Each structure stands twice: as structure tokens, then as C-alpha cells.
Amino acid sequence: MGSDFGPVARALSARGVDLAMRHAPGQPHVRAGDAMILWQRTDDPLARAQALDSGAQDVVGPWMHEAEAAARIIRLAQGQDAKLVLGDLVIDLLERRVERGGRTIALLAREYALLVHLARHAGQPFSRAELLRAVWQLDFDPGTNSVEVHMSRLRGKLDRHDHQPLLRTVRGRGYMLVAGLESGA
């Protein structure tokens, strides 16, 4: 896709979206399910109209803000209702909004990325090293307690107000988000 796609890729990653990008002959594009989103390097309305007439579901490019391009890709990838719902926890991937029990929860960017990763794999424990790789994009342990600090803050924000805990520490395995309002663990 070229280096100009980097900001969009980072915006998608921050929202917890992993993409498989393909390069069709002559036209770089992103496939989102059955939808094809064309990556257009210059802002050319006529070429954009031709691409849409030819079957592309949307056209994005470096001429638009990366948040808008990411939102358009996510909308097509996950349909109009781009939300993860686990019990009373709702994560709106387009708006980057988190609610629990109808109450909005303000999260920092890393907390949000951590929550989205755990929510996409609810019920699966992740070790500290796996979280560093998936959320921090680090293939080494920096020797800090960053994962523990972020998990503690996230747990404090999600599980307060008499809610049943969703974030669990699985002894010897790591951290996980329970798939619903289950007991035990």
C-alpha cells in the first residue's frame, strides 16, 4: 500500500482491527469481508466515481484524515453496527466508546487497545509476553510493569460500581476478559 497508508494502519491497529491487505493488479485495495475498499493516492473525484461505479464499496486515501479512513474501513468490515458486546460491556469500534451497564467509561488509548484485544478473544488468557506483542508491538520484555499497571487501571475502570468482574487474572497463564457475566475463574 505504500508508506502513505501507515497512519491509517496505525489508526486501525489502535481500534483493534487487523487487516489483510492485498495488492490487485494496478489497484491497491483493502478487502473487508466481501467489500473492496480502494486506496487512492491522490484526491481525484472522477477516478473515485469510476472506482465506485466499477464495484468498489468505498475509496480512501492519504488525502483524508486517517481517523475517517479507518472508520470507513471498519464500517465496511463489520457492518453498520461495529460493536463488540460482552454481557453489559459494549465497545463501539467506530466511536472508540466503551460502556458498561449503560455508563460510559473513559479509557486511555493503550487501555482501549488492551480491552479491544482481550474482548476479541474473550475467554482466552494472554500472558504478559503475548500482550506486549499484541498491544504494545514489542517482541521483547522491556523489564517494566507496564502490562500490570494498565491491567490494574483497566480493571479499576471496568469493574467498579458493583459490577461483576470481567477482567480476570488466570494464575500461571495471564489475563483474560470473561465472555459474559460468568462466575468463578
Per-residue pLDDT tens for 56-83? 788 888 888 888 888 887 777 766 456 7
- 176 pLDDT band, cuts 50/70/90, is very high
Average pLDDT over residues 141-165: 87
Phi-psi region of 137 (alpha: psi -120 to 50; beta: other; left: phi over 0): left
For residue 102, give Cα distances in angstroms to 84, 109, 116, 158: 14, 21, 18, 12
* pTM given for the model: 0.59
